[in-house]
Structure 1
Amino acid sequence: MDSALVIGGTRFIGRHAVTEFREAGYDVAMLNRGRRENPFGDGVEHVTGDRRDRDALETARERIDPDAVVDCVAYFPEDVATATDVFADADAYVYVSSGAAYGEERVPKREGQTALEPCDDEQATTDSAATYGPRKAEGDREVFAAAEDGVRAMSVRPTVVYGPHDYTERFAYWVDRVAVRDRIVVPSDGLSLWQMAYVEDVATALRIVAERGEAGEAYNVGDEHAPMLTQWVDLLAETCETGVEQIGATARDLAREGLEPQDFPMYRATPHVLSVEKLRSLGWSSTPHRVGLQRTVTEHRENGRTGRKYGPDRDTETAVIERVTE
């Protein structure tokens, strides 16, 4: 394969996917609405169009004739069904699904073994946080159906993604807290276990699956080691070369200040860990945390990412600290 089309491409996972394919020697083009500046300049061809418009997909197919298609912004099952039809003759179509597609709480969650979320007709067309997992699961089913019809379509399921250019700023909340505070609240004593995936590793997985994956298969992607939240804070303190005291707060402690554990980014009440054995069998491996964190912290600081609006404000956090330590 020599050419790749990334549907999306300017923000987070798509941006790193473009870089990954370019560095692997591909001619790369992007399809998106053109609402954000092309960070790659003239080095990456840009097709302007709405990915939900079939005509835009067909225009991209005719102009680019891509060998590989990476679909980063398919949020509805219909998006996947249309794209696998339009790009049926491509050598590879790779759908960015999500670990949220799993509908069963198991540790770890495994492709083909752990049940996916069901998705009814209303969920399939409703854009909300509650329907995100079901919609992604139904997108996986569209991939499987396309493969049965002879399309080399595959799915990559990342767990929650962090890294440079993360516009969600979920992880940035903790970077900021560790960098500027000496005492911070960690809910439930930091025992939250939510496996994360470094964005460059997700991009590498997309390329490897395009090149070596099997049609009709899904591949989990996440860090090969899953620290608990308190361990992430320690790793960040080491990266930021600072010291920070973690104040563990129970749900009762937080409730007294009008908070709950879920108000803190990256907190999860139940463990969420994906097996990555299947992806590793294709030759993939994850980036060491210290390397990924250094790149992440550097970019977040350079671009002023703080994530402060995504977690408790400092005054409320201070009130929790005072109550817990009094």
Structure 2
Amino acid sequence: MDTALVIGGTRFIGRHLVDDLLEHDYDVTLFTRGTSGNPFVDDDRVDHIEGDRTNETALEAAATTVDPDAVFDCVAYHPKDVRAATTIFADCDAYVYVSSGAAYGREEIPKREGETPLHECTLEQATDDSFETYGNRKAEGDRAVFAAAEDGVRAMAVRPPIVYGPHDHTERLDWWIDRVNRFDRVVVPGDGTNLRHRVYVEDVASALRIVAERGAAGEAYNVGDRRLVTLEEMIDLIAESLNRVAHSATEKANDVELVRAGPRELAAGDIELDDYPLYRTYPHVLSTAKLAALDWESTSLETAMDRSVADHLESDRDGSENGPEREAEERVLGILETL
């Protein structure tokens, strides 16, 4: 395969996907609305077609103009859009849909492709835009991929959990990096052993390309960090990375004290466990063995965190809208000091 069309390729996952495709000598065309800015505007290796991916006429025009070997659909949030795309790009060598680990409808450890049931999706949910139906809509998008494959389309899905890394506009990890960077005492919700699968964005990008090149039609592939860490271990990784990235070898940052707080202690700040970004009560773990069988490899956690921290420090992101205010946490810390 030589040519790729990336539907939505200027913000986060798509941006890293374009970089990965260029590194592997693809001719790349973006299809976006043009509202988020284009980091590749000065790169003559990347063409750009402006249009709304929910407009089938515009998508058909892009298909005719580019005639891509591979199509990567990064911004399909409704099942009808996946069905339309798999029809429009039916003759391509590969159509890869960015699904989500949220598509799984049962809590089990780990969640496996083809074994763990997916969410059901009603007609009402399929057209909804709320966060509550996100998993339902992604699951129905997967089923659209499977149906297309049965009709002879080489369509596949990739399911990431929470994605982190440079240019992350969600700022969920930024909230934690900011806390560790600015304070010597960091509140950890619960007992610190909360386990929520995450995945480094460059690994999602390479997974999408590898699935397009080597995946099987009608299959879904989980992608996630090959080594999982608890929330407390993630905070330790951030602290170690800040020492490596932000401080010289002779001027290490102060050690960060992690202070665990349960529901009773958090109540002093009118905080709940779920108010913390990246916290999840029940462990969310995806099996990545199926993707690894395609010779996909995961970036080391230390390297991934160093790159994420370096990007955070160069940005103006602090994630402040994602978690509790520090003033509320100070009340919690005050209560813990008296116990």
Scaled to the shorter chain, the TM-score interval is over 0.9
CA distance in 2, matches of 1:20, 1:88: 24
Q: 1:267 aligns with which of 266, 270, 279?
A: 279
**Aligned twin of 2:250:** none
Q: Structure 1: how far apart are the matches of 2:37 and 2:234?
A: 33
Aligned mates of 1:131, 1:26 — CA distance in 2: 35
Q: CA deviation at 1:36?
A: 2.3
SS of residue paired to 2:158: strand
Equivalent residue, structure 2, for 1:75: 77
Contact 1:97–1:156 (8 Å) recurs in 2: yes
Quote the Cα distance in structure 1 between the aligned partners of 2:321 and 2:22.
Answer: 35
Q: Pick the aligned partner of 1:297 from 305, 309, 314.
A: 309
- Provide, for residues 106-149 of structure 1, a one-character-per-residue CA deviation record: whole Å limited to 9, x for no partner: 10000000000011100000011110000000000000000000
2:204 corresponds in structure 1 to: 202
> Which amino acid in the other structure matches residue 112 of structure 2?
R
Encode CA deviations 1:43-101: one digit per residue, 9 max, x unaligned: 31000000000011111111111000000000000010000000000000000000000
Structure 2 distance, partners of 1:4, 1:175, is 35
Structure 1 unpaired stretches of 5+ = none
**Counterpart residue type for residue 31 of structure 2:** L
SS of the equivalent of 1:60 reads helix
Residue identity matched to 1:143: V
In 2, distance between residues paired with 1:316 and 1:56?
49
Amino acid at match of 1:315: E
Q: 1:179 is matched with which residue?
A: 181
Give the distance between the partners of 1:247 and 1:325, measured in 2 at CA.
Answer: 10
Report the Cα offset of residue 214 of structure 1.
0.1
Distance in 2 between residues matched to 1:40 and 1:195, nearest whole Å:
30
Deviation at 1:182?
A: 0.2
Q: Mean alpha-carbon deviation: is it higher for 316-325 or for 123-132?
A: 316-325
Q: Aligned partners of 2:36, 2:277: CA distance in 1, in Å? A: 26
SS of alignment partner, residue 145 of structure 1: helix
Q: What amino acid is the match of 1:323?
A: I
CA distance in 1, matches of 2:36, 2:78: 22
Does the 8 Å CA contact 1:189/1:247 hold for their aligned counterparts? no
Give the whole-Å Cα distance in 2 for the aligned partners of 1:273 and 1:200: 19
| TM-score, normalised relative to structure 1 | 0.99
| 2:240 alignment partner in structure 1 | 238
Residue matched to 1:157: 159
Question: 2:305 corresponds to which letter in structure 1?
Answer: L
- Number of equivalent positions: 326
Unpaired runs of at least 5, structure 2: 244-252
Bigger Cα displacement from structure 2, 156-165 vs 30-39: 30-39
Measure the CA separation in 2 of the matches of 1:325 and 1:64: 63
Distance in 2 (CA, whole Å) between partners of 1:177 and 1:120 is 40
Q: What is the aligned counterpart of 2:265 among 240, 253, 264?
A: 253
2:25 aligned partner, one-letter code: G
TM-score (norm 2): 0.95
Amino acid at match of 2:196: W
Are the aligned partners of 2:190 and 2:261 in contact in 1 as well (CA < 8 Å)?
A: yes
> Hey, which bits of structure 1, 4+ residues long, moved more than 3 A?
none
Residues 237-292 of structure 1: CA deviation (Å, up to 9, x unaligned): 00001321111000111123211011000000000000000000000010001101
**CA-CA distance at 1:311 after TM superposition:** 0.6
Alignment of 1:217-236 (within 5 A): 217-236=219-238
Identity in percent: 58
